[in-house]
Amino acid sequence: MNPLIKRIIFIVVVLGLWELGSQLQIWSELILPAPSSVGVALYEGFANMTLVYDFVASFRRLIIGLAIALFIGTSIGLLIAKSKTADDTIGSMLLAFQSVPSIVWLPLAMMWFGLNDKAVIFVVVLGGTFVMAMNVRSGIKNVSPDFIRAARTMGAKGFDLFIRVIFPASIPYFVTGSRLAWAFAWRALIAGELLSTGPGLGYTLSYASDFGEMELVIGVMIIIGVIGLIVDQVIFQRIEKSVAKRWGLEL
C-alpha cells in the first residue's frame, strides 16, 4: 500500500476515535475538544483573517532569523573547521550552547530588546546558528583526505582547493545543517512568540490558552505541526535526497 494512503487512513482513524470519545463524553470538552470543534475554530480564525495575519507575521520573523542564522552559522563553522585554536575554544562553547533550549534565551532577549520582533528574531537566530555551525564544521572535517591529496598533486591549493574540492564535498552536510537549523529555528520562533505582544502563531496560542479557548489552542498546535511537516518533507527532505543521490550517497 502507498505510504501516503497509509498515513491518510491512520489520520482518519485517529480523528474518528477522537471524535467518538468526545461525543461519548469520555473526557471533558474543556480538556480536549472534539475535532469538529477544532475545525470550526480554525475556520473562524481563517475567515476573520486572524490566523492568516499570524501566519504571515510568524514566517516573516522566521525567514529573517533563519537567514541570519545560516549566514552566521556557516561563517562560524568555516572558522572552527579551519582553525585548531578556534575549534578548541569557540567549538567547545558551541557544543555547550547547542544543548541549551532556545526558550532559555528569551528572558535575556527581552532584557536586551524588549517585547518586540527583535527579541523573537534573536531567539530564532540562536536556535539555528549553533546546529548549522556544527554541521558545517563536520562537513569540512570529514572531507576525504584522498580528495585533498589528489587535488594538491594537480596544483590546487589555498582558496582554489577549498572552492573546487572541500566545499563541493561538504555540501551534503551544509544541506543537513540547513534542514536542522530550520527545525530548531521553527521551534524557537513559536517559543519566542509565546511571550510576544504582536501577531503570530505562538502569540495566538498563548492568548487562546489564557482565555480557555482550547479549540483554538489545539487548532494552532495542529497548524504548527502541519507547517513543520510540510516544510521538512516537501522542501528540505527532497533537497537532501537530491543532493545525496548526486553525491553518490544514496541509490
Per-residue model confidence as pLDDT tens digits over 211-224: 888 999 999 999 99
**What's the confidence (pLDDT) of residue 233?**
83
Position 74 confidence tier, pLDDT thresholds 50, 70, 90:
very high
- Cα–Cα dist 158/44, whole Å: 59
**What's the confidence (pLDDT) of residue 65?**
94
More confident residue, 71 or 140: 71
- Cα–Cα dist 189/192, whole Å: 5
More confident residue, 220 or 84: 220
**pLDDT above 70: percentage of residues in the chain:** 97
Q: Are 137 and 129 in contact (CB under 8 A)?
A: no
**What's the confidence (pLDDT) of residue 246?**
75
CATH code of the domain occupying 38-246: 1.10.3720.10
**What's the confidence (pLDDT) of residue 250?**
58
Residue ranges per structural domain of the chain: 38-246
Residue type, 227: I
**What's the confidence (pLDDT) of residue 70?**
94
Q: Are 98 and 85 in contact (CB under 8 A)?
A: no
Q: Are 86 and 80 in contact (CB under 8 A)?
A: yes
What is the average pLDDT value for the chain, to the nearest integer? 86
Q: What is the pTM of this model?
A: 0.86
- Cα–Cα dist 82/151, whole Å: 18
Any residues with CB less than 8 A from the CB of 76 and at least 6 apart, and which?
A: 90, 94, 129, 133, 136
Position 247 confidence tier, pLDDT thresholds 50, 70, 90:
low
**What's the confidence (pLDDT) of residue 210?**
86
- Is pLDDT above 80 for 4? no
Position 249 confidence tier, pLDDT thresholds 50, 70, 90:
low
CB atoms closer than 10 angstroms to residue 26: 9
- Angle, vertex CA 231, rays to CA 181 and CA 10, nearest 5: 120
What distances in angstroms separate CA 179 from CA 63, 128, 161, 167, 237, one per listed residue?
13, 10, 26, 18, 8
Q: Are 154 and 108 in contact (CB under 8 A)?
A: no
Position 197 confidence tier, pLDDT thresholds 50, 70, 90:
confident
Q: Are 40 and 57 in contact (CB under 8 A)?
A: no
What is the rounded average pLDDT of the residues 122-145?
88
